[in-house]
Chain A
Amino acid sequence: MGSTSTKIKLRTSDQKVFEVEKAVAVQSQTIKYIYENGCPDSVIHVHSVSGDILSKILDYCKKHVNSAAGKEDISPEELYEWDANFVKVDQNTLFDLILAANCLKIESLLDLTCQTVANMIKGKRPEEIRTTFNIKNDYTIEAEEAVRRENKWAFDMLGGVGTMVIEELADDTMSKCVTNAKSRVCVIAANQIVMMRSISKLANKKSIDVYKQPQNPTTPRIKESVKQINVGTGFIELFFHFKCKM
């Protein structure tokens, strides 16, 4: 047979065997190295990759090899779209793909998969990230506050939940808030936890309506519901459940 259709056999961790064209398999630098320095005829073991994952990876490699070689008529935009669909998988599959891409040394796939997960993190607040990946928050309130302070003041990192303080609210807004549960309480800037001074009356309230002013003043205000009211020394903390990203 001609060398153009040389096939390589790959055995996965769960004993599945895949036979693929050499050009596709050597997209993996690891396989390429083993093939060129080991025994070309026998089977290459990819211990750390399961059959399902390897199958997907070989799809990826085949698509990219074919498009580069011109065997498939596919534009760069279409390939980009294909890649975007390729990574629309559940989280565990995505993480397994990252591990496998790293182990098999397929740089473009590692790039693609890591960037996908990174995009799931960027622009999000900590609690949103926790929800996305089902992570438990093991910070105490004091520890979290200490990290937030250090980020904000010392290490040039604005952002996160931004537990910033407004200590002054007009008196009439305060009285509205205590007397009429339905009325607007206060308009605060985006991403803030409000700490109000000397509002002992508020401590008895179970819920309050608060309107949040987005950063761009031309966007309409958003109503937030207060999850929790804590009374501190002269301060009251209202913790909001942020529904939208600012």
Chain B
Amino acid sequence: MGENYNELKKSTASQTGLTDVVLGWVMLYIDDPEDRSAVSLVCRRWYELDALTRKHITVALCYTTSPERLRRRFPHLESLKLKGKPRAAMFDMIPEDWGGYVTPWVKEIAENLTCLKSVHFRRMIVNDSDLEVLGRSRGEVLRCLKLDKCSGFSTDGLLHVGRLCRQLRTLFLEDSSIIEKDGRWIHEIAMNNSVLETLNFYMTDLVKVSFEDLQLIARNCRNLVSVKISDCEILDLVGFFHAAAVLEEFNGGSFYDQPDGYAAVTFPSRLCRLGLTYMGKNEMPIVFPFAPLFKELDLLYALLDTEDHCLLIQRCPNLEVLKTRNVIGDRGLEVVARSCKQLKRLRIEADAEEEGMEDEGLVSQTGLMALAQGCLKLEHLAVYVSDITNASLEYIGTYLKNMCDFRLVLLDQKERITDLPLDKGVRALLRGCGKLRRFALHLRPGGLTDAGLGYIGKYSWNIRWMLLGYVGESDAGLLEFSKGCPKLQKLEIGGCFFSEHALAAAMIRLTSLRYLWVLGYRELSQSSRDLLAMTRLFWNIELVPARRVVKTDRVGEVVVVEHPGHLLAYYSLEGPRIDFPDLIFRLNYQRISLYRSISL
């Protein structure tokens, strides 16, 4: 409140005695973005007070606004989250140089956003020089730096962070593509930082990190609570675990040695959130003594089968978060339903290999029904299923009243699905789960009729984000869908092949929509003339045509991948962007003509 107080005292009182001082204090108790939006629209002075007292802003797509606009409105911002590339970038569907450069934002932060303490960049391109600028300008006050699924930087950039940002409580690099030159950056952190609480370089392929530096960090940072690292032999971490007295969360490590060797590993006593990479059946017993304490368990990279899952999970009655693959099977889900009554978040991903899967390692309606009846506190559910019925979705709608994020993907393994289309089930689920804010449904042709798609529109009162794949049968379904969804802000559609005309009509009807991403759509004309119906003021439309990409896969073979065309459209106050690669062409409202520059 300190630096803002003088500004508030200077201004005149309003008619009622609700002075700026009083209002300034009261605003600190108003956090909800919708309330803040209303507050900013009351009158000009309230707009200014909202801007002065707002601590955190999330810009869901960095191109919707500009760094200058952000700074002009929120000059005292303390925390910023910026997102760049579309979510499809996580599945390799977006060109690397699509955009989302942090450089202009870092420049603004360095020059003007003097109160900024926390920065979170997600799916953006970060250069080493950006990290240097950030470190030099904000290094002394920066408490939280998150480079979340970012790319474009190397360990040299992290060296600047280690040297200059000595007050960091949180350094988060998870799933970023980092060019590794050496492990000096972690050494700098070990030497300079004594207040680190969260360190995360999970899923980054950084292997030159020395465990001695980790141990030093654990010794120096008495508040180190959460550490997630890349692969590192667990036996080398014995010293680290010994030093990290208050550690509660650990992910990573690896098991390269014989199982008996791990009996001597002692974990910190408060450890309750764990994910050990490559943990197999034989290593599993080392976590049994801790299992009753577990609040979070990450088995995505463990090497356990269905029986192992059952043995482990039945020992975890306090589990709140579970991430695993569908090897857990229906039987494992039944154990979860019986044992984990506190479960709030469950994520079940698909195994990479789909051949040779026995029925036991698959999730279907049986598991879902058990889960619905057993884990009533569930709020987030993401699951890849091999089979599904309407009844199982009805169960979810009946029992899981706290559900706010539901994602279902129907895998391609089985040719015949027990019960399609899922119209009734989806309707029951949406009507029952009134708190749902995020919803994803990825099926197959025949999975949902046009009527079913219409139900989604009609019953999604609160949903802000939706991902729909292979739903509906024709344009009529999309048009019916678009009559509803009153709060839908962000829509991603894949594999549905609606016509451009229908997409344009739907976009206009979806009154809250500010972001639309479509993978694969029926191009009726070479020049996308029908899409022109979608053009309007402030709406940027970017098209990437279907293309063939030559890649080298993990085993070194050269493969040609067919990417269908995709469309990205979003509201922006800044007009069309100029930093896009040649691949993309845009539809521009002002001139109603097409800019096309595709490199051949």
Contacts and interface: CB of A to CB of B under 8 A. Distances in A.
A114 interface: yes
B4 interface: no
Nearest to B479: A168
Nearest to B570: A153
Interface residues of B, number: 59
13 contacts: A95-B17, A95-B19, A114-B29, A129-B38, A147-B40, A151-B41, A156-B60, A158-B464, A165-B508, A165-B511, A166-B511, A168-B505, A215-B461
Contact of B34 (A115, A144, A160): A160
B121 interface: no
Contacts of A91: 16-18
B528 interface: no
Interface stretch (B192-200, B403-411, B482-490): B482-490
Contact of B59 (A122, A144, A155): A155
Interface residues of A, number: 57
Nearest to B482: A168
Given A153-B538, A154-B69, A156-B33, A192 B26 contact: no
Nearest to B29: A118
Interface string B454-478: 0000110110100000000000000
Interface in A164-193: 164-168, 189-192
A139 interface: yes
A221 interface: no
Given A153-B571, A154-B59, A159-B34, 7 more contacts: A95-B18, A115-B29, A135-B15, A150-B65, A150-B73, A158-B489, A160-B38
Interface of A: 91-92, 95-96, 98-99, 102, 110, 114-115, 117-118, 121-126, 129-130, 133-139, 143-144, 147-162, 164-168, 189-192, 215-217
Contact of B511 (A110, A124, A137, A192): A192
A138 B32 CA distance: 24
A160 B17 contact: no
A78 to B, nearest CB: 24
B84 to A, nearest CB: 14
Contacts of B509: 166-168
Interface in B21-65: 21-22, 25-30, 32-44, 46-47, 57-60, 64-65
A228 B489 CA distance: 28
A104 to B, nearest CB: 14
A191 B462 CA distance: 13
Interface in B320-362: none
Contacts of B35: 121-123, 159
Nearest to A151: B37
B538 A157 contact: no
A150 B41 contact: no
B513 to A, nearest CB: 9
Nearest to A91: B16
Nearest to A99: B22
B277 interface: no
A122 B511 contact: no
A121 B39 contact: yes
A135 B487 contact: no
A136 B33 contact: no
B350 to A, nearest CB: 31
A189 B486 contact: yes
For the complex of A and B, the 3 pairs showing the least CB-CB separation, nearest first, are A159-B34, A164-B511, A154-B65
A144 B41 contact: yes
